[in-house]
Amino acid sequence: MGKGGLLFNLTTEEKRVVLFVVGLALLGTGISFFFRSPGRQKAKNHFYEQSAKIDLNTADHNLLLSVRGIGKKLAARILDYRSKNARFTALEELKNIKGITENRYQKLKEYFLIH
Amino acid sequence: MRRPLVCLLLLFCAGICFASYASPPLTFIYCLAVITYMACIFLAEQKPAYIALLFITVFLIGALRYSADNKRPNRQYVLDGPLLSLKRSAQAILYRHLPPVPASIVEAMVLGEKERISPKIYRSMMKTGTVHILVVSGFNVGIVAFLAHLVLKVLRIARKARIFIIVILLIVYCLLTGASNPVIRATIMGNVFLAAYFFKREADIYNSLSIAAGVILLASPRQLFNIGFQLSFASVLALVWLYPKIRPVFRVESLRPRPLKYLGESLLVSFSAWLGTAGIIAFYFKLISPVTVLANIIIVPLAALLTLSGFTLIFIGILLPQLAQSFASVIQLLAILLLQANILLSGLPFACLSLL
């Protein structure tokens, strides 16, 4: 490091950091242009929803158990309900299951979706 | 030479006792003090070991505080307020610029907050054996140390003062992310390395690993049966000990062209980590996932990039909020790639075998 300015006498480490940040910014600008069209925006959000939410009609016991607030009994009751009624047609049907109150339903519905 | 050390030690013990109001296990505190003392002698030998002592003791207070917290959840400490508001503002930046799903992933990686990760994502990562990327660990501690070192160097801070500041920052980061086992391990190891750098001596990785294990176990011995503790130490040990052992067996050294050699090396690193933890995972989760070896060499680099961009986003969000959006879109792309890779990998045949 010389006596001169801070910007022009960068060490390798510093150069790498500056390059990384600049590269990230440029790449990011490109990507935001790509995602600007409403169709792609929609596809992206759809993908997020698909990957984060559990499909009530295909979930197995273990997957249900991993949701906060669902224990073994409730998971069994949900599966029971599904096998009796063939499939869930709406998220509200969860409220028909014993043990799911309105309050609990509001918390649970975040985690689920139905195809 | 040794007398001031002992005085200081006693002073610190008194400080710890005072801080924890003596109700958490007192014996542990004294055991910790002894270990600290031994570590200092080991690190410093002839030199006055104030700094090393301070490094480790300050850390111990933090570790103890948090292990005591588990028993008394409502306890408030002096540092909690500022730390919490720091964390809140970082979270606010993430959620302002990102949709909830990528924001929750980055939040887990950078701030150690797993509350908002969707259980579906968590479970599918568990199946491919890559769930460890959602945990703050050595890599993050390394990034914090590296960034702090860089900034302080640019500011022309003297070497010794620099190390001291980095140690404090590491501890703050450790407490900020909730002082879980991997962070405590990485922070203690990092501190031992910094102390060695301070005294211009060479740090030994086994020693630093065992100091970390010793401190955690003394602060709360029950951790020995904690899955996180076992996995964290088993994987590091596998990387440090097993990897150099199996490396000559596969002769990756002689692989040409070079990209192939890198690929072989990363496969071996991934394989040794898997070998080290497979037994524990099979025992507790009744899962064996051979896909882990492949999954890690794809997902770990993505996760590393995601962590780096997450840190960048938080800093940019503080300094130049106008620019944050473009950084955020990189994170979105990386998150999509990560989730997609994970879905593909968990769909492979024989990806994950259940032992039940």
**Residue pLDDT, tens place only, A61-70:** 888 888 888 8
> In terms of C-beta density within 10 A (0-12 exposed, 13-18 middle, 19 or more buried), how is residue A88 classed?
buried
Residue A14's pLDDT band (cuts 50, 70, 90): confident
Examine the pLDDT at B21 and tell me if it is beyond 50.
no
Could B123 and A27 be called an inter-chain contact, meaning their C-beta atoms sit closer than 8 Å?
no
> In terms of C-beta density within 10 A (0-12 exposed, 13-18 middle, 19 or more buried), how is residue B355 classed?
exposed
Residue A115's pLDDT band (cuts 50, 70, 90): confident
The ipTM assigned to this model is: 0.81
Residue B25's pLDDT band (cuts 50, 70, 90): very low
Examine the pLDDT at B198 and tell me if it is beyond 70.
yes
Domain coordinates of chain A in residue numbers? 1-35, 38-113
Count of CB contacts below 8 A, A vs B? 74
More confident residue, B293 or B58: B293
Question: Nearest to residue B60, comparing CAs of B21, B20, B112?
Answer: B20
For residue B88, CA distances in Å to B63, B91, B112, B306, B329 come to 22, 5, 12, 20, 22
Between B153, B154, B336, which is nearest A47 by CB?
B336
Distance CA B58, CA B270 (A): 34
Architecture of the domain spanning A38-113: Orthogonal Bundle (1.10)
Mean pLDDT score, B185-210: 77
Could B312 and A24 be called an inter-chain contact, meaning their C-beta atoms sit closer than 8 Å?
yes
Q: State the DSSP H helix or E strand holding residue B321, giving kind and residue range, or none if neither.
A: none
Place of tokens 């109150």: A101
User: Could you tell me whether strands A112-113 and B287-288 are parallel, antiparallel, or unpaired per DSSP bridges?
Assistant: unpaired
Examine the pLDDT at B268 and tell me if it is beyond 80.
yes
Q: Which residue of A has its CA nearest to B329?
A: A28
Token pair, residue B221, equals: 């011995």
Between A13, A45, A63, which is nearest B99 by CB?
A45
pTM: 0.79
> In terms of C-beta density within 10 A (0-12 exposed, 13-18 middle, 19 or more buried), how is residue B23 classed?
exposed
More confident residue, B9 or B156: B156
Between A24, A35, A52, which is nearest B120 by CB?
A52
Q: Mean pLDDT of all residues in chain B? A: 78
Residue B323 near chain A (CB below 8 Å): yes
Q: Which residue of B has its CA nearest to A55?
A: B120
Residue B121 near chain A (CB below 8 Å): yes
- State pLDDT tens for residues B108-142: 999 888 888 888 898 888 888 888 888 888 888 88
> Which chain A residues contact residue B98 at CB under 8 A?
none
Q: Are B270 and B308 in contact (CB under 8 A)?
A: no
Least confident of B17-21, B59-63, B257-261: B17-21
How many C-beta neighbours within 10 Å does residue B301 have? 11
Quick one: what percent of chain B has pLDDT higher than 90? 15
Quick one: what percent of chain A has pLDDT higher than 70? 91
- State pLDDT tens for residues A32-84: 888 888 888 898 888 888 888 888 888 888 888 888 888 888 888 888 888 88
pLDDT at B12: 53
Examine the pLDDT at A4 and tell me if it is beyond 50.
no
Mean pLDDT score, B180-209: 77
Q: Mean pLDDT of all residues in chain A? A: 83
Place of tokens 């010794």: B160
How many C-beta neighbours within 10 Å does residue B354 have? 11
> Which chain B residues contact residue A51 at CB under 8 A?
101, 118, 120-121, 339, 343
Between B121, B328, B333, which is nearest A51 by CB?
B121
Token pair, residue B12, equals: 């610190």
Distance CA B109, CA B111 (A): 6
